[in-house]
């Protein structure tokens, strides 16, 4: 019988802006590279990439693997795609979209909107590779061989002393 530890995912689901900040800060402090999968439950190519991302996480323990499901974190998705204007009022953000009523987005999720916009996430799935707090690569689309190739190359770029300390 397999132990519970062997079934545990190495991919961390980011569920809020606060958890995003925590994992990014943790990785930065540890000088640990990050692979992020921006996904959506309605996007079948994204869903199809989940097991591949899991396999890559198992194969590369020296990288922090994060998944951001734009539906699960209740990001106002059109804010990512159309970069609509947002106004901050205390802990709430009102989004303005022509022809639609205002929607309220929590400030914690605004961090994720900012992160996705900064990384120019315009389609699902998008994979972003980050090292030393800087984006070093981005792969758009569900291409398992290209993702494997890029992550393998990313791993090779990590100094040996960093990989050994993880």
**pTM for this structure?**
0.72
How far from the centroid of its chain's Cα atoms is residue 63's Cα? 13
Separation CA 119–CA 91 (nearest Å): 24
- pLDDT computed for residue 52 by the predictor: 96
Q: Average model confidence (pLDDT) for the chain?
A: 74
pLDDT band at 115 (very low <50, low <70, confident <90, very high): low
pLDDT per position as a tens digit, 4-23: 445 578 999 988 777 888 89
The yes-or-no verdict on residue 106 having pLDDT over 80 is: no
pLDDT per position as a tens digit, 28-44: 899 999 999 999 888 89
**Closest to 48 in 3D by CA, of 147, 119, 156:** 147
Separation CA 66–CA 64 (nearest Å): 6
Confirm if 79 and 102 have CB atoms less than 8 A apart. no
Angle at 127 between CA 121 and CA 130, to 5 degrees: 95
pLDDT per position as a tens digit, 66-102: 998 876 655 433 333 333 344 444 444 444 444 444 4
């Amino acid at each position: 019988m397999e132990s519970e530890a062997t079934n545990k995912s190495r991919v961390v689901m980011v569920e809020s802006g606060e958890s995003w900040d925590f994992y990014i800060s943790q990785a930065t402090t540890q000088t640990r590279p990050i692979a992020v999968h921006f996904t959506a439950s309605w996007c079948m190519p994204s869903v199809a990439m989940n097991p591949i991302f899991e396999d890559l996480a198992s194969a590369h323990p020296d990288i922090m693997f994060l998944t951001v499901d734009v539906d699960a974190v209740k990001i106002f998705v059109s804010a990512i795609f159309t970069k609509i204007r947002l106004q901050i009022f205390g802990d709430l953000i009102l989004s303005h979209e022509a022809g639609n009523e205002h929607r309220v987005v929590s400030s914690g999720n605004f961090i994720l909107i900012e992160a996705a916009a900064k990384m120019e996430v315009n389609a699902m799935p998008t994979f972003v590779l980050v090292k030393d707090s800087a984006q070093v690569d981005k792969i758009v689309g569900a291409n398992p061989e290209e993702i494997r190739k890029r992550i393998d190359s990313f791993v090779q770029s990590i100094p040996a002393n960093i990989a050994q300390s993880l």
